[in-house]
Amino acid sequence: MSALPANPHYSIQKILIAVACGLLASCSSGTMSSSSINPVNWITPYKVDVIQGNFVSREQVEQLQAGMTRDQVKAVLGTPLLTSLFHADRWDYVFTLKRQGVEPQAFKYTVFFKGDKLERFAGDSMPSEAEFISTLSNKRVLGKVPVLQATEEQLKAAEKSSVSRAGPGAQADAANLPAGPLTTVYPPLESPRQ
């Protein structure tokens, strides 16, 4: 007659541990060749979007004209990412974007000067701002973007409601205020030292 174990849960734990070890060993040994079956591939770490350089759009490139000064080019394209002491008449604008699950994007545009004047410019075919923004869309859909501009009727209604909430004495004071932006006074962030 065989004796039953004193604690039946103890033997179940041994069996579950043995099954888990067997599954893990089969995963690492390569017997499960498909990566979709391997539970290690089910979890992917979050990778941060890496944006480097300064983006130059097609609209900015279209504003360039031979004969522009360096300051005018900087006003249109921004500060160049690469300048060199050895190539003082050349500015390079480089932009790279690396995102998880998307092919990396890289754009390069170069402007050449003769003295202080823009002589020529060349580079990759740059996307328009709208095209570039459309490539940045997430998989999440946030819904319709609300209109961020008030109509004249909404402004008048807001003005009337703010004056009526202030009370009758404030209406007379509001009539005497000069037209223009209202200023708000905030308390200091830190208390004065004593």
3-state secondary structure of 77: helix
Distance between start and end Cα atoms, the chain: 89
Tell me the three state secondary structure of residue 64: coil
Residues 96 and 143: their CA atoms lie apart, in Å, by: 29
Instruction: Give the pLDDT of residue 32.
Output: 46
| Integer Rg of the chain from CA | 33
Domain check: are 74 and 130 in the same one? Answer: yes
Tell me whether residue 154 is in a domain. Answer: no
* Within-domain flag for 19: yes
Length of the chain: 194
Give the pair of three-digit tokens for residue 121: 């410019």
Helix (H, G, I), strand (E, B) or coil at 24: helix
Report phi then psi at 190, rounded to 5: -120, 150
Summarize pLDDT for 105-153 with one digit per residue, the tens: 899 999 999 988 999 999 888 888 888 887 776 555 556 777 778 888 9
Residue 164 maps to a domain: no
pLDDT beneath 50, residues of the chain: 31-32
The answer on 120 and 64 residing in a single domain is: yes
Residue 87 in domain: yes
One domain for residues 126 and 56: yes
Domain extent, residue 18, equals 11-42
Per-residue confidence (pLDDT) for residue 31, from 0 to 100:
47
Q: What is the CATH number of the domain that holds 126?
A: 3.30.1450
- DSSP string across 121-180: EEES-PPPHHHHHHHT--S----PPPP-S--HHHHHHHHHHHHHHH-HHHHHHHHHSPSS
